[in-house]
A and B are shown apart, each in its own frame.
Chain A
């Protein structure tokens, strides 16, 4: 066994931390306050190669694998959950679907500019009637000669309001449904028939775009079918597995930030004649946060290593996201409590962290969906097929 990061990954972390301190930290509060997507940060991330962190060099990537990608997410989320979310939607599910199941031509055409940050990606699965029940999507694609015509819409699409390329799931055979009747398409948002219908006003991650999309007679060339016709779900589930793992990695960063801020404040703030650090209630909070963070870190990087070494990881990825989001929520809640009133104001980053963290248990598969994934994997091994 070896639990150390390679020199390359350590160097990568240093490079990312420096980037984040210079480019992300200074605007983190501002993009939250003004509800602005920092597209300039995405471009810069692309220029230094970080948006291709996990993709091979032949597609403009860095080749740092899933471990490298997890380091990126962890470091980003220490400072800005919005930027982390934008990057996660872009790399982790948007571009990842193309990387996993795209053909050579699609990778050259789409993955390369995505890895360089010249184009921004989103992942179009959720619909108003299909959240946790992703198989209930109704967006329809009908074959017409050399192309497919899409009609329908998506909701809650991260990066949806400004993405250039969206991987979209649509029903190609209603009779077959989710198993064989759903296909993934690479859609360019400049094409006629694509429309951004609205932007959501969210409690947190306010420096992100969460958009409702409408497709009206949107014509997609057949060559933009991603993977095989009818196998869209296979593609999307593979991408979601990778995404879940990296959201767990992001949660390490969010929780660490909360812990570090809490320690700092507990040393500084005096009540009843002593620093809060001397109060057992506070000590317990710190001890619990630190223990959970260490457990999460071990889980996440072990699973990242499994991905990089080609082992199956679906169930473990769901655990990373489930446990990570709960650890991050508990950590920021305790950090807020330790900060008292100051934690409750927007003058301190804790307040933003508290609003941001709450999305972790909801997006990219709620905690309930993660538990369904974990339980159904376990029961399947024991010969029982469960339905959600």
Chain B
């Protein structure tokens, strides 16, 4: 076993921190208040190669391993979880499925411009009636000669407003299928944006596909491979979201711990109070436990292992830790934790999203339990 980062990973981490401090942190409060997507940070990230983080060099990517990529997401989330989720959606949910399942032509067409930031990716799976239960996909893919007609409504499409490419899932003759739908495809409309509690810089939109005609060559993977593509993409995203949870939790801890050394009550910094020490100690333990779950899951991706179980474990655990740490750190900061001109309130609102996006925690818990009981020869259903 080896728990050390490689020299390269260390170097990347320093670079990510530098980038995030310069290009993300200074604007986060303003963007969050205005609920604007971090377009300028994305542009700068593209210049650094971050928008093609895990994409090979032949497609103009940075060819990072998943551990380094997890460090990128973690670092960005420390300053702005919205930016981290925007970028993770682009890479884990869209670019990596294209890389894994795309034809040579599809990869040539989309990956270089995704890595360059000219095209941002969005993922359209969820529907108003189909959250955790993707078997209920109502969106239809109707084959008509050389083209496919998409009909349906998608909800909670992350990056909807800023995307140039939508990875759309629809039910065809052979089951669930995935399609690469450019923003300018006829019949595609980006609609209602959800006014969210947290992650206010991520645009979650409703997507309308009304007589949306695309060439049959835009199908990603073979007929009926949609379910597998969705599943793999969501597993990769689960690891990235857990990394974001790690980032937001450790930054909340850092912010509140510093506050505890400065805030004097009863004649001493509150860091001297046992109750505060306990909050900090629990938070630190939780952050460290999550940290190694995240890096381990990312390492499994790099090794090409099956992560169907570990992705759910790290995502569910990450959501819990991000929630409990940000909640307790708000408490450490007292009234200042509740004010929007201090960073804790935003981190608290943002972290709450992790129990919902990328599959609610109940769904991941089910998958974990299913794995355990399968080992005992008892199949369970959700």
Q: How far is the CB of B333 from chain A (nearest CB, A)?
A: 9
Q: Does B353 sit at the interface, judged by CB under 8 A?
A: yes
Whether A203 and B352, one on each chain, are in contact in the complex, defined by CB atoms closer than 8 angstroms, is: no
Interface residues on chain A, number (Cβ under 8 Å): 42
Q: How far is the CA of A201 from the CA of B336 in the complex (A)?
A: 10
**B382 and A272 within 8 A (CB):** yes
**B91: CB under 8 A from chain A?**
no
Binds A, one of B61-69, B195-203, B304-312: B195-203
By a CB distance below 8 angstroms, the chain B residues around A358 are 330, 338, 348
Given known pairs A203-B345, A272-B381, the reply for A132 and B197 (CB within 8 Å) is no
Partner of A202, one of B195, B338, B348, B353: B338
Identity of the chain A residue whose Cβ is nearest the Cβ of B341 in the assembled complex: A201
Is the contact region of chain B dominated by helix, strand, or loop, or is it mixed? mixed
Q: Mark B257-290, 1 if CB is under 8 A from A, else 0.
A: 0000000111100000101100000000000000
- CB-CB contacts of A200-227 with B at 8 A, as 1s and 0s? 1111100000000000000000000000
Specify the main secondary structure of chain A where it touches its partner: mixed
Q: How far is the CA of A72 from the CA of B341 in the complex (A)?
A: 32
By a CB distance below 8 angstroms, the chain A residues around B339 are 200-203
Chain B: minimal CB distance from A269 (Å): 9
> What string of 1s and 0s marks CB contacts (under 8 Å) between A248-279 and chain B?
00000000000000000000001110000001
Partner of A344, one of B198, B335, B382: B198
B265–A344 contact, CB under 8 A? no
Count of chain B residues near A, Cβ 8 A:
43
**CB neighbours of B275 from chain A (8 A):** 368, 371
Given A133-B265, A345-B196, does the pair A362, B340 have CB atoms closer than 8 Å? no
Q: How far is the CB of B71 from chain A (nearest CB, A)?
A: 27
Given A129-B264, A133-B265, A366-B334: A271 touches B133 (CB 8 Å cut-off): yes
Please report the C-alpha to C-alpha distance between residue A331 and residue B151 in the assembled complex, in whole angstroms.
39
**A323 near B: Cβ within 8 Å?**
no
Measured CB to CB, the closest approach of chain A to B209, in angstroms, equals 19
Query: Would you call B381 and A341 a contact (CB within 8 A)?
Result: no
Contact in complex: B156, A341 (CB < 8 Å): yes
- Closest chain-B Cβ to A254's Cβ sits at a distance in Å of 16
Say whether A376 faces chain B, with CB atoms less than 8 Å apart: no
Task: Give chain B nearest CB distance to A153 CB in angstroms.
Answer: 15
Q: Is the CB of B264 within 8 A of A341?
A: no
Mask of B350-375 contacts with A, CB within 8 angstroms, 1/0: 00110111001110010000000000
**A347: chain B residues within 8 A (beta carbon):** 194-195
B189 in the interface (beta carbon within 8 A)? no
Residues of B within 8 A of A75 (CB): none
Of B155, B335, B352, B365, the most chain A CB neighbours within 10 A belong to: B335
Chain A residue at minimal CB-CB distance from B194? A345
What chain A residues lie within 8 Å of B48 (beta carbons)?
none
B9 CB-CB contact with A under 8 Å: no
Tell me whether A359 is interfacial, beta carbon within 8 Å. Answer: yes
Chain A residues with CB below 8 A from B107, complex form: none
CB distance from A56 to the nearest CB of B (A): 34
User: Bound complex: CA of A355 vs CA of B355, how far in Å?
Assistant: 16
CB distance from B132 to the nearest CB of A (A): 6
In the bound complex, residues from chain A placing their C-beta under 8 Å from that of B265 are 130-133, 136
* A-contacting residues, B220-271, CB 8 Å: 264-267
Q: Which residues of B contact A362 (CB under 8 A)?
A: 330-331, 334-335, 337-338
Other A-B pairs, 19, CB within 8 Å; known A204-B338, A358-B348: A129-B264, A132-B266, A133-B267, A200-B341, A201-B340, A202-B338, A202-B340, A202-B345, A203-B345, A279-B362, A337-B356, A340-B356, A345-B195, A347-B195, A351-B196, A354-B352, A355-B349, A362-B337, A371-B275
B residues sitting closer than 8 Å to A (CB atoms) are: 126, 129, 131-133, 155-156, 194-198, 204, 264-267, 273, 275-276, 330-331, 334-335, 337-341, 345, 348-349, 352-353, 355-357, 360-362, 365, 381-382
Which 9 residue pairs across A and B have the least CB separation, nearest first? A133-B265, A346-B195, A203-B345, A201-B340, A271-B133, A345-B194, A133-B266, A351-B197, A272-B382
